Amino acid sequence: MASSSVRSIDSGSWTPKQNKLFEKALAQYDKDTPDRWHNVAKAVGGKTAEEVKKQYEILIEDLKHIESGRIPIPNYRSAGSTSNADEEEK
């Protein structure tokens, strides 16, 4: 069982690319898709069905915290950027 613990720790980090692939796969394979987590894992690459399901559960918890107001919505404006977002705030 120790090897699975090590594997879990090693595979716990997600790259930005994996996160983007995860988001796209969630949109493609909805909750009614047979073998959803296997399909999502295959689309992401380098993750098991259990790992993508766990990532989904974490995502849902984060969304609940944001929607309840416990975590502020982040400001994603990049440094030095003057975009339409500035205009929309006025």
What local confidence, expressed as pLDDT, does residue 80 receive?
A: 60
What local confidence, expressed as pLDDT, does residue 9 receive?
A: 37
Render pLDDT for 17-75 as a digit per residue (tens, 0 to 9): 999 999 999 999 999 999 999 999 999 999 999 999 999 999 999 889 888 888 777 78
Radius of gyration of the chain (CA): 17
Angle (nearest 5°) at CA 44 between 43 and 47: 120
Q: What is the pTM of this model?
A: 0.65
User: Is the Cβ–Cβ distance between 71 and 65 less than 8 Å?
Assistant: yes
The more confident residue out of 18 and 9 is 18
Question: Residue 7 — pLDDT band, cuts 50, 70, 90?
Answer: very low
What local confidence, expressed as pLDDT, does residue 79 receive?
A: 64
